[in-house]
Structure 1
Amino acid sequence: MLHHELSADIMSFLNSTSLTPDSFILNGIPGLEEVHMWLSFPLGTMYCIALTGNVGLMYLIYSEEALHRPMYIFLALLSFTDVLMCTSTLPNTLCILWFNLKEIDFNACLTQMFFVHTFTGMESGVLMLMALDRYVAICYPLRYATILTNPVIAKAGLITFTRGVILVIPFAFLTKRLPFCRTNVIPHTYCDHMSVAKISCGNIKINRVYGLLVALLIGGFDMLCVAISYTMILRTVVSLSSADARQKAFGTCTAHICAIVITYVPAFFTFFTHRFGEHTIPPHVHIIMANLYLLMPPTMNPLVYGAKTKQIRDSVIRFLFKWKDNPHGI
């Protein structure tokens, strides 16, 4: 009887403390601690390019009336999402690599986890909306302006953001319920759902299943919509009589296709190595790819759209000439 009472007291104590640490230690890039400083330079450079390129692109779209069209409004939304996505992790990552500031409060870790997954989900959603935009522009050109009005664009953006928030919020609760009795050291540069769950000494099956479900509901659904959109676009483009018209129509999609590849290739690599490649992919490769997953799209998207979109190139040239003639805005 006494033994059972003692066991109950021990279990009650464990449950009351919840085995929840006050903070976690983000260990950076495992196996490459000696070159953390060197690794910080390309990451920091990419972050600066991402901030400059995306903020500049948003300002350009805002200030140039010729760019006040659905395609460029979605692009501005993509740039806004990119800035928030990389900013949710990179300043913290650079502090780890530069100053060895590895400790992060438990609730701050959950907050970072929420923002990382919300903005990556938003990124995927915006790319899907941009595919639908190209579908309407090419398949229904005469109705383009009446279908994609500003209220429709605003509602689509809000629904995409809300979807991400609703699906990501449970990550925090699923993580908070886990006991951390072995370690509080996370072999990563930022807090994401599976990296935190894996150091728990509890059963993380629900975390794995729900993570997979969210990936299918966001990434799977968005990729399906993109695939259907481009199937319909290809059918319409092929049916055009003029080769010049076919090239021009599909040319408006090339930047978006590049953005999809840049976003989804590292995303799928990160997702599948978390679940199936733990023992085959070296940890430092996984962590570097996880950082590139959040940095590559923000860095490359403004460059790709600037290089592939004539209207943006023309607007940049006009803006530079205006600034040259009147650098002080006088």
Structure 2
Amino acid sequence: MKVAVFSTKSYDREFLEKLNAKFKHDLSFFEVPLNRHTASLANGFKGVCVFVNDKVDPETIEILHYSGVEVIVLRCAGFNNVDLKTSAEKNMKVYRVPAYSPNSIAEHALALILTLNRKTHKAFNRIRENNFSLDHLLGFNLHKKVVGVIGTGMIGSVFADIMLGLGCEVIAHDIEESSGLKEKGVKYISLEELLKISDIISLHCPLTPETHHLINKEAFSMMKKGVMLINTSRGAVIDTKEAIRALKSQKLGYLGIDVYEQEESLFFRDLSEQIVSDDLIARLMSFPNVLITAHQGFFTEEAMTQIAKVTLQNISDFEAGRMNENLIGG
């Protein structure tokens, strides 16, 4: 099937082309993101393949529909960037990759925690300048710390397992409780109680109207002073302005984020020779206790292989009219 692949990087093309030797789809790669301004590039294609920061809003869908596109295939788990109501009205199918490697993101959350805590990034830079001092590199033992997990789907469950293995007390909040985690000793409590007693809070929930700015002014006010907050889910789960206020007041002791609510104009790009006009991320980067990575939690060989495989299979199933559990709309 003829598919336009948007927001393509070299690694996307590498993995998709490698796996496509089996599926034999006609893939055309575009570096630009999909939005209302670029949607006309899909003219003549039956499908489009999109990523997390592509904007598949009603206007974009209208243009895609007019261009003959029948299916939208996401090469990611989240689908908050797709207007499912409009796609259904246009009888356009929408597929996603619900689980490619929960371990990759859960392990990245741990990497953020360990780096913030033991300040290995700072030590690395110091030693390169022949500074072997330990001043201001003091950390704390993770053993027996209370770790709150918000969202215990596949990624959150793997993360909880990791933290249990480190000897932490793991508590959780989710609308659906995992019996498997309960058997391992994870205690489900209210969100308010979790915020109050956690030493470390890690976010693993999808972005929905209910979770948008879930971590807001009120949530920060409930937290322990000096708490560590980790977000590898979606940027807008945290109110960034309130996070900055919490950092300034020292209520928030550490912040590690792999996602950012205004990341679509920044992440996955080399802006090293440009002036970044985003004042919020500039302010975040000014804090010594903030660690930002550019949405790389998913970026492992295993995850990229699985993303490509499931994406191409979704296209094949649509083309053949086969039932597929990854269908989310249309």
Give the shorter-chain TM-score range: under 0.3
Determine which structure has greater relative contact order: mean sequence separation of CA pairs < 8 Å that are 6+ residues apart, divided by chain length: 1
Q: Which has the larger radius of gyration?
A: 1
In terms of fraction of residues, the more helix-rich structure is 1
Question: What TM-score, normalized to structure 1?
Answer: 0.23
More strand by percentage: 2
Name the TM-score, length of structure 2 as normaliser.
0.23
